[in-house]
């Protein structure tokens, strides 16, 4: 069965950093574009970052709201995708979901940015 399991969330202060991870299994990870999508409390879905596959040079794309602060990466040998979040802001508070091509979704990990 397909599984995406996020980890690494928590409470941090503004301007701090946090790295969240997503462990994938049950599908050919190396063939899948991977995304991070977030949802602020009571709000809709917002695409955050995307990373393509090796044949596409692992190209990365970011929402304007996180560009220059967040970095998405992947390790195909471990079937893992990561999101390094630097200079966090209170408006980054959200549930962060890992998704494979928008087809498979993890349960999400909560990130709270507050002083």
Partner 1 sequence: DVVLTQTPPTLSATIGQSVSISCRSSQSLLHSNGNTYLNWLLQRPGQPPQLLIYLVSRLESGVPNRFSGSGSGTDFTLKISGVEAEDLGVYYCVQSTHAPTFGGGTKLELK
Contacting residues toward partner 1, per CB under 8 A: 35, 37, 44-47, 50, 61, 97, 99, 102-108
Instruction: Tell me whether strands 10-12 and 109-113 are parallel, antiparallel or unpaired.
Output: parallel
Nearer to partner 1, 6 or 92 (CB): 6
Nearer to partner 1, 13 or 59 (CB): 59
CB of 91 to partner 1, least distance (A): 17
Q: What are phi and psi of 12, to 5 degrees?
A: -135, 165
CB of 64 to partner 1, least distance (A): 8
Residue with tokens 């503004």: 14
Instruction: Tell me whether strands 70-75 and 10-12 are parallel, antiparallel or unpaired.
Output: unpaired
């Amino acid at each position: 069965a397909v599984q995406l399991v996020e980890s690494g969330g928590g409470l941090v202060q503004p301007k701090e950093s946090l790295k969240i991870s997503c462990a994938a299994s049950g599908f050919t990870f190396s063939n899948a574009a991977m995304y991070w999508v977030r949802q602020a409390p009571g709000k809709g879905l917002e695409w955050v970052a995307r990373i393509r596959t090796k044949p596409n040079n692992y190209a990365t794309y970011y929402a304007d709201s996180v560009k220059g602060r967040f970095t998405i990466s992947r390790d195909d040998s471990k079937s893992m995708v990561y999101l390094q979040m630097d200079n966090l802001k209170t408006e980054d508070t959200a549930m962060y979901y890992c998704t494979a091509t928008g087809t498979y979704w993890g349960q999400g990990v909560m990130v709270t940015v507050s002083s």
